[in-house]
Structures are given as C-alpha cells and as structure tokens.
Chains A and B, each alone.
Chain A
C-alpha cells in the first residue's frame, strides 16, 4: 500500500480534466467530513468543488481571483460542480483526473 502525502495548497487551483482531456474547471474547495468507520477522529475528503470561471479561468489559480470570479458570476458565467471523491484520481496531484466524462456532472449554479 503506497500512501502519498499531498499538500492541500498544491491541489487548490489545479485544472481538472475528464477522460477525454477536456477541462472541467479549477479546484476551488475540498470538503471533508468525519469518517464514521474509522476511529471517529479522522476527517476525509468526501467531495471536491470545481469551478468554471469563464474569462478569468486562465488566472484563477489563487483564492483572490476565484473570489472575484464568484462575485462577478453573471459577467464571467461562473458555474460550480460538486464532485464525489471516488470520481477523481489524484495519482498525479498536478493533474487531477475526472474518472467520468464531463457531461455526466450535474451543475449546481
């Protein structure tokens, strides 16, 4: 069993691509919950929020621009998806992969 350590900040802002290599947005947030099957003390990432920032997408690697993108949602066409943890592969932290095709995602405005 190979356990790797990843710094959270290395994941934030990364572009997530689907099985076809299409970009589905940038990692905005990792949502964690307590794992009830463990010893009760462990938090695990249950879903990842990925955002599309339209025009700002190119520079939306940091939190400030992402904040700005959310504020200007109507102008940039901002859209967000919540992706369950098992749909993602973090084998290469710099290039997170969606294990499905883009159209299978549900959009939460």
Chain B
C-alpha cells in the first residue's frame, strides 16, 4: 500500500457511500497530534461550516452571524472516522450509509418535503 497524499488525493475529493451514492466532498480533514508520535489522520468532516472556515475566519464569522440573525441554529455536519475509508481512487468510498449522514440532511429534507410533492419526481428511472 503506497503513501496517500492527503492534500492531493483526499481533501476536496468526491465521497461516495457503500452504494456508490455521492455524499459530498471532504470539506476538512482532522489530524491528531500526540507528542513523540506521527500525526494520525483521524476524521473526515463534511459540512458547510468547515467549508466556510477554509475560506477565512472572517467568512465563517459572517456566516455564523447571518445564520444567527435568521434563527438557524442547527449545523448539519458529518464527522466520519478515517477508518471508514474503503477505497481511495477517483472517488473516496466510505463504509457509511447516505441515509445515516447528518450532512445529507438537506438532501433528504428536500426529497421528502418538496420534491415528492411534485409529480414525476420519483419512480424507477427517466
């Protein structure tokens, strides 16, 4: 097993679940630092807050302020242990179910409350 290039191959790569469903991209990668030990690749983070932080502290702060103003409190973020990685290639496959992911909350909400109300939205295939 060769070396994994964390910036090149992991961060911002497309994530898929057990069934090859797209579940977002690696928005942040968390490492654990223990004195005297190499950095451990710990957690994959999928979420808008993590993305906002990458743009800049000012951007993340503005976003928080606007959301507070609008009364939105819930942050739908998924933190997945790196041990869930099954395959690193064109996409990174995780041993998770799309249904179980907090970060897919909006997708599910739209699907259940909006899309399904409109005819022609579900069924076998187009």
Q: Which residue of B lies closest to A28 (CB)?
A: B7
Q: Cβ of A79 < 8 Å from any Cβ of B? A: no
Some 29 contacts from A to B, beta carbons below 8 A apart, are: A2-B34, A3-B32, A5-B32, A5-B33, A7-B30, A7-B31, A8-B30, A8-B31, A9-B29, A28-B7, A29-B6, A29-B7, A30-B5, A30-B6, A30-B39, A32-B41, A33-B2, A33-B3, A34-B1, A42-B41, A43-B40, A43-B41, A44-B37, A44-B39, A44-B41, A45-B31, A45-B38, A46-B3, A85-B38
Q: Which residue of A lies closest to B4 (CB)?
A: A32
Instruction: Give the size category of B's interface with A.
Output: 20 to 34
Chain B: interface secondary structure? mixed
List of A residues within 8 angstroms of B3 by Cβ = 31-33, 46-47
CB distance from A7 to the nearest CB of B (A): 5
CB pair A30–B38 under 8 Å, yes or no, is: no
List of B residues within 8 angstroms of A31 by Cβ = 3-6
Interface string of A61-82 (1 = CB under 8 A from B): 0010000000000000000000
Q: Which residue of A lies closest to B84 (CB)?
A: A41
Q: Cβ of B80 < 8 Å from any Cβ of A? A: no
Q: Which residue of B lies closest to A39 (CB)?
A: B83
Cβ-Cβ contact count across A and B, 8 Å cutoff: 92
Interface string of B60-92 (1 = CB under 8 A from A): 000000000000000000000011000000000
Q: Cβ of B35 < 8 Å from any Cβ of A? A: yes
Q: Cβ of B48 < 8 Å from any Cβ of A? A: no
Number of A positions contacting B (CB below 8 A): 30
List of B residues within 8 angstroms of A2 by Cβ = 34-35
